Amino acid sequence: MNPILRTFGLAALGALVFIAIGLVVPAWFLFTMTKAVGFGLVALGLVGLLRGGLLSFGQGLYYCGGAYVSGLMANWAGVTDMIVLLSVGCIAGGLIAALVSPLVARYRGIFFAMLTMALSMVAYGVLTKIAAIGGSDGFNVPKPTLLGYHLAETGFGLYAIAVVIAALAAAVCRVHFDSGLGLIASAARENELRIEYLGASVFSVSTRSFILAGGLAGLGGTLNGVALGHVDPFFSYWTTSGEMVFIAILGGYASVTAVFGTALVTELVRSFSGQYFPESWQMLLGIFLLLVIVFLPRGVGSMWAKPAKNHAIRSIKEPAT
Amino acid sequence: MDLIFTILLDGLIYASWLFIVALGLTLVFGVLKILNFAHGGLYALGAYGAAIAVPFFAGLGMPEWFSLLAMFIAAAAVAILIAPLIERGLLRYFYGRDEVLILLITYAVFLILEDVTKMIFGVNPYYVFEPRNLLGNVEMGSLFYVGYDLALIGLAIVCGLGVWFGLNRTRIGKITLAVIKEPEVSQAMGVNIARIYLLAFGVGVFLAALGGAFTSPLISVQPGNSVSVIVVSFAVVIIGGLGSIPGAAIGALIVGIARAFAVYELPEAEIFIIYLVMVAVLIFRPEGLFTPIKARKI
């Protein structure tokens, strides 16, 4: 059987199973799962970047961009159809990423991480100052529709849309990761110079991964903006991006479905910790992150499971003052 | 003319604390090859430490000038308590691993520090005014400046020269430079690398805490300002080139003056002018102003 067909078939099957599960779970859990899909989509984009050895600490920017553009469209143009909103959010996230990519795609490692983070903090700062779109309060997003029908108050309709989007995104990413381009990204993580000598452009591969991640983040932002009924500049704040990184690291980059599971677990732990240990959510994140890195390096991904490099060789790169 | 002078002086004052914090960041990167995300959290701890230490020593009946010393003591206490815990307890297990992995680890430390700080000190703001009133006002042209702010410039110069002198003119500093160049060879020659790493990390933490302590009289000490510190000082450090002390000084000056210019002439841009400068520098000098071009390794 054609592997691409098989991947999409599995995705369709998974979507059906999860929609069926949605029929029996309580409404609060539907909402949590919908939000988890939103975060999982952003984390999926991060996984694509991580496969190429890039870690972005600023995915909040594209997440926020998708949420704002689709939310403003719903408010100003009165469009509430989910298919239109999701497409617009996805394109907005991808476009912002495409605008930013010439600047950041040249960088690797900590430079890439900190530059993307700086950009998302700029967006946060700018959005809090623009009074026309709510400043730091943000604005409300109207109730969504699908092909003219209003979605049920229980949130099942939105959940079903989220599941379909998640399955589609996971399948597309699986196919992309296993395609020639996706494999070049993985190879670039190991050794960029060799890839260049072999005739492929690391820059263009990184750019593609970055735009894909931006589009997925825009999709996730739109979904969560609609699910929450509200968007604000906090979508672009560094803690939001940090949580996405957390979810992606927890999921590891070998799988395209793991991120949705870890997003759900993260969301559940967040709601419970908010109830029982307020003010210690970040500490929990930090401790879990350390535990995963120290005790589950395979779960984190083989990028970091390779043996420690020689410190002496590395140090030649960074001359003293 | 007055305006230019004001912008320059304000920029210089802002650049001073930036430099103190960024110096710690660049020193730790230079020696340990770690971009310490937790630097901002340590800065906040220094600010809280000063907010506790200044009233404490005043309560002991110490003279007023002692509050300045109290801020040093607070910063040193943070360095002595926290640096060994983080470096010996955690970071040393990851030396030589992927730099992004270490960034994630310091990010986790930062998250933990944030909440621990909140747990210890609560979420209500602290205020320390005494040190800032101590040095009086200085008249410059038609303007009055708070003496304390001008003294910050002196402190930054002392810190910069101190680190430079420590690295280039003392035995332990020369050993540190050797470790930066060739950790393995230094170790083979009998250098205790672990001690050098701990020392460098300790000095880095001390500088972060010192920056925090000496800023505490200018701000209300409360949760939430530590992340902007790490992002801004990172911007400063990469403008100058990671691991370079003169680079950090120039970076701090550029950022400080750009920000002061924005405050007076272009208030809307105040929040992002720092990043604009950073982006502009990186477009022309991707490795920063003071880093020599390096060969890519295969």
Q: From first to last of its 298 residues, what are the pLDDT tens digits of chain B? A: 678 888 888 889 889 988 999 999 999 988 888 888 899 899 999 999 888 888 888 888 777 778 888 888 889 999 999 998 998 888 888 887 777 888 889 989 998 998 888 888 887 888 877 777 777 777 776 777 777 888 888 999 999 999 999 988 999 999 998 888 888 899 899 989 889 999 999 999 999 999 988 888 887 787 777 777 888 888 888 888 877 888 889 889 988 988 888 888 877 777 778 877 877 777 777 677 766 555 544 4
Q: Which of A169-173, A240-244, A295-299, A310-314 has the lowest mean pLDDT?
A: A310-314
Nearest-by-CA chain A residue for B32: A315
Distance from CA of B18 to the nearest CA of A (A): 16
Q: Among A116-120, A307-311, B59-63, B132-136, which stretch is predicted with the lowest mean pLDDT?
A: A307-311
- Domain of A241? 3-315
The segment with the largest mean pLDDT, out of A144-158, A201-215, B56-70, is A201-215
Q: Are A232 and A27 in contact (CB under 8 A)?
A: no
pLDDT at res. B293: 54
How close B35 comes to chain A (CA, Å)? 7
Contact B111 A282 (CB under 8 A): yes
pLDDT at A152: 66
Say how many domains are in chain A.
Answer: 1
Identify whether A320 is part of a domain: no
- Among the residue ranges A26-30, A299-303, B19-23, B107-111, the one predicted with the least confidence is A299-303
Give the tens place of pLDDT for each residue, A42-59.
Answer: 999 998 888 888 888 889
Question: Which residues, at least 6 apart from B128, have a Cβ–Cβ distance to it below 8 Å?
Answer: B50, B51, B54, B55, B67, B216, B217, B221
In whole angstroms, what is the distance from residue B120 CA to residue A81 CA? 48
* Per-residue tokens: B64: 């007023």
- Pairwise CB contact (< 8 Å): B111 & A122: no
User: CATH code at A47?
Assistant: 1.10.3470
**Residue in B with minimal Cα distance to A188:** B298
Residue A230: strand, helix, or coil: strand
Contacts of B90 in chain A (CB under 8 A): 290
Give how far A175 is from chain B: nearest CA, Å.
Answer: 27
Which pLDDT score is estimated for A198? 87
Best B112, B118, B121 member to test A by mutation, with max A CBs in 10 Å, is: B112
Set of chain A residues whose Cβ sits within 8 Å of the Cβ of B99: 109-110
Q: Which helix (H) or strand (E) holds A146?
A: strand A145-146
Report CB contact under 8 Å: B112, A117: no
pLDDT (0 to 100) of residue A97: 92
What mean pLDDT do residues A160-170 have?
90
Position A321 in a domain: no
CA distance A71 to A142: 8
- pTM assigned to the model: 0.85
User: pLDDT at position A189, please?
Assistant: 81
Per-residue pLDDT at A298 exceeds 80: no
> Among A14-18, A78-82, B196-200, whose mean pLDDT is lowest?
A78-82
Element (H, E) at A212: helix A202-228
Considering only residues A7 and B206, tell me which one the structure prediction assigns the higher pLDDT: B206
For chain B, the structural domain boundaries read 2-138+157-284
Average the pLDDT over A190-194 and give the result: 82
Chain A, nearest residue to B234 by Cα: A114
Question: Which of A78-92, A274-288, B7-21 shows the lowest per-residue confidence on average (mean pLDDT)?
Answer: A274-288
- Spatial separation of the C-alpha atoms in residues A103 and B124, rounded to whole Å: 40
Distance CA A289, CA B38 (A): 14
**A194 reaches B (C-beta below 8 A):** yes
Q: Are B25 and B39 in contact (CB under 8 A)?
A: yes
φ, ψ of residue B189 to 5 degrees: the values are -85, 0
CA distance A247 to A60: 13
CATH number of B2-138+157-284: 1.10.3470
Q: What is the pLDDT of residue B61?
A: 78
The answer on pLDDT for A315 being more than 50 is: no
